Amino acid sequence: MQVLDKFIKGYFQVNIAILACAFLFSVLYKILISNFSDQSHLYFYEFIKNIDFQMLLIKYLLSYMLFAGSLLCDLKAIRQQKWSIFSLAFLGTVSSTAIVGIITYLILHAFGINTAITYCLLFGAFISPTDPIAVLDMLKFLNAPKKLREIIAGESLFNDGVAIVIFITLLNIVNKEISTVTSVTILFIQSSFGGLFFGFILGWIAIQLMNLGHKENEIDILLTLWITTTGYWLANHLQVSGPLAMVVSGIYIGNYITQTRKKALCTFWSTIDHVLNAILFFLIGFEFILYDFNSMNYLIPIILLIVCLFSRFISVLISLNLFKIKPRILKNEQIIIMFGGLKGGLTIALSFLIPASPEDFIFKITAYFLVVFSIIVQGLTIKPLMHALDYTHSEK
């Protein structure tokens, strides 16, 4: 048993285990029901169909996931690599959204699927962010050099907020709630800057209340739960970005609380995030059970998966080489950054929010394939990649 425990801890990360279990369960269930004539599984089908995924994600899951990831942000460490992180989070996310959106538009039209460019850009927006918890889990597993940890972790924390603002703006365009350039600009500014400011206010209030209390971990947890519920509801009610407010408030609290109290909070919220990721992975696996697959259902998502990986490669190159960023990022470091941008629950969560259309299933299954590939394949092979690039001891 000790040997098995050591093997699991040495070669697997939490997200890999969760996703692998969810993926295998959904595949096995699909195989089982296809070989039995019993109609009892139809009740399960109806149960899955009746789940309002958009309501579940927007109201109950998204705020918790974003807050959990941002709470782990170390601003002091990130400041040393601020220009690289800023470029990756903003320029990288925008360029990735554009690259994925445009190429997806061309591919779908080549297959005779006529869809609007805005819909494809929406796909690009939710496929671009990396997952903070998955990334931090990977970095702890790797014991990566400090410089690399700061860049990859910083990017994953901030590109979530950028991607969500882009996604919400494009979603309003797709839903025809805004139609002019002026309206788009006003919405973007109001949503992004309003969300940043409101998140700062929430974080500041929480810290003041924490300092008034008896420094008990239970009080800290209750206050952060208040932010992710009432605070998130207030942000959306004020028409500012609730997701961005959660990111900022999490960063503020994580950096203005004592290390002892932060450790207890991070333990609680990391557990919450792993549970929510497990729920998301199982839910999207169950949704795919409802679909009848054919070769075309697989072909287009696999092509789009390659497009997403290509866009990650190009967006990192653009972000780190377009300007003379200091400190300079070496070529082998850039390769690891490209490969270390793991996708996770946020990508799957946002995929459920796209409007219903003939191609929405293609986008959802591509998101699922990308997360599976990212967490399992990239997560398991990045350590050998670092050894191959002779980077593991570069700091020495």
Residue-wise pLDDT for 133-145, tens only, equals 677 767 766 677 7
**Mean pLDDT of all residues in 16-28:** 73
147: number of Cβ within 10 Å: 18
pLDDT tens by residue, 361-373: 888 888 888 888 8
**Three-state secondary structure call for residue 392:** coil
Residues 6+ apart with CB under 8 A from 161: 66, 192, 195, 241, 243, 244, 247, 248
Interatomic CA distance for residues 355 and 209, integer angstroms: 40
**Mean pLDDT of all residues in 270-284:** 78
**Res 389: pLDDT:** 77
Interatomic CA distance for residues 193 and 313, integer angstroms: 29
Residues 6+ apart with CB under 8 A from 91: 315, 318, 319, 322
Q: Where in 111-220 does DSSP place strands (E)?
A: none
**Residues 21/24/25/31 CA torsion (nearest 10 deg):** -170
Chain centroid to Cα 272, Å, comes to 15
Indicate whether 164 pLDDT > 70: yes
Higher pLDDT, 137 or 268: 268
Q: Which CATH number is 2-388's, of 1.20.1260.10, 3.40.50.880, 3.40.50.620, 1.20.1530.20?
A: 1.20.1530.20
Confidence of residue 8 (pLDDT cuts 50, 70, 90): very low
Average pLDDT, the chain: 80
Confidence of residue 188 (pLDDT cuts 50, 70, 90): confident
State pTM to two decimals: 0.79
Q: In the chain, what are the domain boundaries?
A: 2-388
Percent of the chain residues topping a pLDDT of 90: 18
pLDDT tens by residue, 318-360: 988 887 777 778 788 888 888 888 887 778 878 878 887 777 8
pLDDT tens by residue, 212-267: 866 678 888 999 999 999 999 999 888 888 888 888 899 899 888 888 888 888 88
pLDDT tens by residue, 49-72: 677 766 777 677 778 888 887 887
- Residue 3 sits at φ, ψ, to 5 deg, of -65, -45
- The answer to whether the CB of 279 falls within 8 A of the CB of 61 is yes
